[in-house]
Structures are given as C-alpha cells and as structure tokens.
Amino acid sequence: MKTILASQTMDIPEGVKVEVRAKQIKVTGSRGTLTRNFKHLNLDFQLMEGGRKLKVDAWFGSRKTMAAIRTAISHVTNLITGVTKGYKYKMRFVYAHFPINASIGGEKTNIEIRNFLGEKKKGGSARWCYYY
C-alpha cells in the first residue's frame, strides 16, 4: 500500500546555512562546507521559514521510501554536526600473524607501515605511506 504524502521537518541550528539544489544538499558552518547528493532517493527537499527548517516529502511512497525520509534527515543532521563540532577518527592496526610496525613521518603528514606481510627489507613493497 502506498501513502499519498509523508513528510518530516527538522530544525536547522543558528550559524549553519543549508542550501538545497536539485536534491543536492550543501551545509556550511564554522568548520567548513559539506555536500551530499540525494538524487538516488525519490524525495523532495524544501527549505522553510527563511532557511530555518528543512522539510522532506515523499509522494506516493512505499514502506522503503518512508524509511528513506528519516535516513535523509539523519544524513543532514550528521552534515550539520560535521560543520559545527567536527569528527575525530582513530585508527587501529590489527594483525593476524606478522606484527606490524607503524610510525608517523617527520612532518606528521604520512604513516609508514613496516613488516606488512612479514617482509624484512626496507623501502620495497613492505613500506606503505598514507597521506592525509
């Protein structure tokens, strides 16, 4: 059974600017700008009350489309958290048999991984560098 119209709204906090353009959401805050593309979902996005509320509509949707409304709002909430508070990621190294040695480079911009597959030589395929 299809529902004719289902909609949910969310409040946008102060200091955050949200732009909607053809199912592409752009969120700007004190920590930068994030964008997210929702073109794969059959939803309508509208800014209301001068950009202080975001309304998500689903017309003639099935049960999966109704669930996608809350999912889209959760994604936008995560975008808002990212541009206001930010996120912190921690990396953990796990190995099964050969112990991995990791060290941070001199300028703290890369990670060197040694003894990746049990190899003992330096600089060959056993050395990996990740830049962030």
Q: Write out residues in the chain with pLDDT < 50, as ranges.
A: 124-127
Q: Quick one: pLDDT at residue 127?
A: 47
Q: Quick one: pLDDT at residue 125?
A: 41
- 100 close to 115: Cβ distance less than 8 angstroms: yes
Q: Quick one: pLDDT at residue 128?
A: 53
Query: Is pTM beyond 0.85 here?
Result: no
* Tokens (6 digits) for 5: 């119209």
Q: Quick one: pLDDT at residue 130?
A: 55
| Helices vs. strands in the chain: H and E counts, helices first | 1, 9
Q: Quick one: pLDDT at residue 49?
A: 95
